Amino acid sequence: MNRHLISAADLSRDDALLVLDTADELARISDRPIKKLPTLRGRTVVNLFFEDSTRTRISFEAAAKRLSADVINFSAKGSSVAKGESLKDTALTLEAMGADAVVIRHNASGAPHRLAEWVRGSVINAGDGAHEHPTQALLDAFTIRRRFGRSSGSGTGPPGAGPGRGEALDGLRVTIVGDILHSRVARSNVLLLHTLGAEVLLVAPPTLLPVAVDAWPCSVGYDLDAALPKSDVVMMLRLQQERMNAAFFPSVREYSRRYGLDSARMAQLPERAIVMHPGPMNRGVEIAAGVADSPRSTVVEQVANGVSVRMAVLYLLLGGAEADQ
């Protein structure tokens, strides 16, 4: 693997499978009475968050602590950033503190890339603007593989139902629905799922698709009802109204009627299909409460799997790289 994880495009097929297989091994620690390993003892991981976050920040913190790393949580609110300090000056401060890895979430696309030029430690992109969120894509792929897995203890699906440990997601049909335009999760998932062999379909109103979406390694559709019967995985995206500065659709009610996943639409899915959502959810808008809480939903699993996947990323960037030298 590279020294940094800034984009899902940074991962080759072998790199992605290595992360997923490592996460599979580390997930077993969650079943132990003591959920810690000494792997990163003496290393320092800084969570540098310029945007509000609950799941991602706590997930990275839990992952680092389970690997015995020292964790420093940095929030832009109440810090020198609020007084006008630049990202570069913040980076130089972290460098002086000896940070081995910096996990950054920033509202500006490209911020992690710039940060990687200023620090010697590894940089992990935890979400930059509407650009990318690679560890979310990894945990989504990990969740899909477990649900369709055939290795012992790694999946809930029937034997031979689909990819398992050591395997990619070849042939699986993944439909990503909703606000593609403002979603960093969608971009990272398209890149990673394509790398792992899945067929990806984006479904959204034309106004919520990026201008250059034709260059993405996926297909595009506008009819959710037509896509559902052919989908193994349906990933619903949150409608990010806080990022919208124009009228992208007539009303939230109209959007929900055409692109929301309710019980009637879920009944159109194949029997083994699953429903995903990266969170936070707008219940009653893009996903009905009954769908979000159904056995087919992987929302809670995604949160739990996020810790294992981020442990794997930290281990491979900090511990695994050193062990191979």
**Of residues 22, 39, 44, 56, which has the active-site annotation?**
56
Confidence category of residue 62, pLDDT binned at 50, 70, 90: very high
Residue type present at position 205 = P
**Of residues 3, 55, 114, 150, which has the active-site annotation?**
55
Question: H helices within 196-269, ranges in order?
Answer: 224-227, 252-259, 263-266
pLDDT for residue 174: 98
Asked if pLDDT for residue 167 goes beyond 50, the answer is: yes
pLDDT for residue 319: 79
Dig out the tokens for 265 from the structure: 């639409």
Sheet containing strand 274-276, strands side by side: 219-221, 199-203, 173-177, 233-236, 274-276
Instruction: Kindly report which listed range (171-185, 241-255, 304-318) carries the lowest average pLDDT score.
Output: 241-255
Asked if pLDDT for residue 69 goes beyond 60, the answer is: yes
Confidence category of residue 252, pLDDT binned at 50, 70, 90: confident
CB–CB of 283/289 below 8 Å? yes
The alpha carbon of residue 174 and the mean position of all alpha carbons in its chain are separated, in whole angstroms, by 15
pLDDT per residue over 82-110, tens digit each?
556 788 888 888 888 889 999 999 999 99
pLDDT for residue 90: 87
CB–CB of 56/127 below 8 Å? yes
pLDDT for residue 42: 94
CB–CB of 314/23 below 8 Å? no
Asked if pLDDT for residue 311 goes beyond 80, the answer is: yes
User: In this structure, what is the dihedral angle of CA atoms 64, 66, 70, 74, given to the nearest 10 degrees?
Assistant: 40
pLDDT per residue over 274-305, tens digit each?
999 998 888 988 999 999 999 999 999 999 99
pLDDT for residue 324: 42
The closest of 65, 64, 186, 203 to 136, measured between CA atoms, is 186
Q: Is 105 a catalytic residue?
A: yes
User: What is the pTM (predicted TM-score) of this model?
Assistant: 0.90
**Of residues 131, 133, 165, 238, which has the active-site annotation?**
133
105 Cβ contact partners less than 8 Å away, ≥ 6 residues apart: 48, 49, 50, 51, 53, 56, 57, 126, 127, 128
**Of residues 4, 43, 57, 105, which has the active-site annotation?**
105
Dig out the tokens for 144 from the structure: 């899909």
Q: How far apart are CA 27 and CA 7, in angstroms?
A: 24
Q: Is 133 a catalytic residue?
A: yes
Average of per-residue pLDDT across 246-269: 86
Q: What does the DSSP 8-state code read for residue 158?
A: P
274 Cβ contact partners less than 8 Å away, ≥ 6 residues apart: 144, 147, 232, 233, 234, 296, 297, 298
Q: How far apart are CA 177 and CA 36, in angstroms?
A: 37
pLDDT per residue over 218-247, tens digit each?
999 999 999 999 999 999 998 875 554 555
Asked if pLDDT for residue 43 goes beyond 90, the answer is: yes
Asked if pLDDT for residue 156 goes beyond 80, the answer is: no
